Amino acid sequence: MSLSLGYMNTSGRRLQSEMEKLDDETSFIEVQAYDKLKNSKLDFRISGHFEGYITIHGERETDGISRIRFSDPDAEIRKKYLESSATLYMAVADSLGMKRVRRIVLHPDKATRREKTRDQLRRMMESLAELHDMLPKSIQLCIEPRGGRSGRKVLDLDLGDFSFFEDYLGAGSGIGLCLNIAQIVAMHGNRNAETFIREVKRMRLDVRELHLSDILTVGKLKNRLGIEIGTGMVDWEALLPHAWKLCRTCLIETLGGIPVFRRSKHFLEKMISQYE
């Protein structure tokens, strides 16, 4: 019942040194490729000793600024965004080594109240299918539903959204899901998060990656994600057995670099050993 655990790199300048330090401690490393890199010279330096694979994380909208255009009502804007995104991800993958890159994880864009969410979701799924066709078949494409403080997204952490997604792009479509356990807990609470995960397991959805971190709430600071696993509000004893039935490929998405990653990894492996 072992998990495949990954490390989140937050700076391309540290990628080579972090690969060398981690070596065989992680199955994969996530590299962030935001839209601002489109006009930059890419120079990712890779350690020859690292034997794992690499995943790419696309643009986020955590600061309230709209950058993602998968569901834009203007077809020409969507077309240009898809073409520029495909060009960026291909350039990043080529810089990292195309054979090393296994998966690209994307975020949905922010939903607008000016039209039905289902119409926006349909356009987003059509865009994902088009982008999938622009990329090599060896690279998986995943969408990570979002929710919480950053506002309603086109694909939210909502079972109704998931059901619509299942009907349109379920298992076998080539488009996978990435789920953030801390975000699910922040939105639904530990008890309801357990139910949420069980319901997702019943759907015909291809969940290819989980993002794991803990949650901190202190005073006015509410639901701070990226915290060391085992030190926050997430009830891992209750949730982890259900989570790994859903997917056993997990990114440890904690802030604090390698020391926090190692402590979080130790916590997870200690828990997993109790079930083996």
Please write down the long-range contacts of 124-129, taking CB distance under 8 Å and 24 or more positions apart: 124/70, 124/71, 124/154, 124/155, 125/165, 125/168, 125/169, 125/175, 127/70, 127/71, 127/78, 127/81, 127/82, 128/70, 128/169, 128/175, 129/169, 129/173, 129/174, 129/175
pLDDT confidence of residue 224: 82
Q: Which residues pair with 101 in a beta bridge?
A: 54
pLDDT confidence of residue 148: 55
Domain residue limits at 43: 4-273
More confident call, 3 vs 134 = 134
More confident call, 165 vs 95 = 95
Q: What's the average model confidence in pLDDT over 90-99?
A: 93
pLDDT in tens, 2-61: 679 999 999 888 999 999 999 889 999 999 988 777 767 777 888 888 889 999 999 876
pLDDT confidence of residue 220: 60
pLDDT in tens, 174-186: 789 999 999 999 9
- Domain with residue 242: its CATH number is 3.20.20.150
Helix, strand, coil in percent for the chain, rounding step 5: 45, 20, 35
pLDDT confidence of residue 169: 65
- How many domains is the chain built from? 1
pLDDT confidence of residue 150: 55
